[in-house]
Structure 1
Amino acid sequence: MGGARPGEFAARLARCGSPYLWVLRPEMAAEVAGGEGLVVPWCAQEAVLGHPAVGLFVTHCGWNSILESVAAGVPVLGCPVLSEQTTNWRQASSTAAWGIGAELPQGAGREEVEAMVREMMGGRKGKEARERTREWKRKAEASAREGGSSWENIARFVEDVLLKVKETTTT
């Protein structure tokens, strides 16, 4: 992340003064030691993001990660690398769209990583992103409730597509 090797990035995170959990492939985790962080090969991401102690999600910005962050009400520090991640990040970070975080540029140095994490954990930009994330979380929950737009769209899909397919195959 941030264009650094895992050990270098862990050192950058350690300077931020906040404990962290980092999910990292085992062959890469050998480079990371010490500090206030915990490095694991896998975690239940939704459960971790849903924990009240989580203040920020540093991610490559895969779509599921972005949605899980919104569902948990956790702002994002994005490090898009390839494929759709950049497009996802533009949607998530733009204040004209969601405005739920900030971007950590590729190749960010120690001071830049430290400054961005500190800002997102307790600065103005972080507070604004946290509130926007919580606002999107409330909207998502409302749309998924009975009578909400997502609820109605699923019901319409079942009726218009699935039930018609069933009728066609049984007649």
Structure 2
Amino acid sequence: MIDAQDKQTQPLPLDEQPTKPKRGRPTTGKALSNAERQKAYRERAKAQRNEKTEKPAEDMQYLADRLAEAWAEVNDLKSKLELAEARADAMGNELAIEKSKRYGKQAAEPAYNVECKFLGMRVWEKIGEPTEKHYAIDFARERAERNPGTTWRAIPAGEIFTFKKSKTKA
């Protein structure tokens, strides 16, 4: 019972009351000051900067070498493709001649060969079988116009017609 005469504050039973959790993040005791945090950041950034061991000049040289190799391969493949196309065209001409012979149509006498020479090469390469004069000359002229790095010619017995695309500045 409470005594009305007693003006002293009575202690409250705190064990019986539930304690409210504190607001915010709980403390761990490992907090860093702003200066410590900034120092740690600078050390991490310095370590990342020093991790790069690649040198841009070496990378550029490597890439330039790879590019030169790729261009050489492309040019080689272009010349091989051109030769293959020429052979395929010549084989088509041969097929037409054989068909005309086989089915009794009168074919003109094949008398001209088509040859090509790539830039820097010494040897002329024969393309296909002999064909008529105007087909051989037109074929050689067309191929010479298409490919500036090659020289084409139509060769009959005793005559040579050579076609090379001229390098003119426009």
TM-score, normalised on structure 1?
Answer: 0.21
TM-score in terms of structure 2 length: 0.21
Relative contact order (alpha carbons < 8 A, sep ≥ 6): 1 or 2 greater?
Answer: 1
* Larger fraction in strand: 2
Hey, which of these two has a bigger chunk of helix by percent?
1
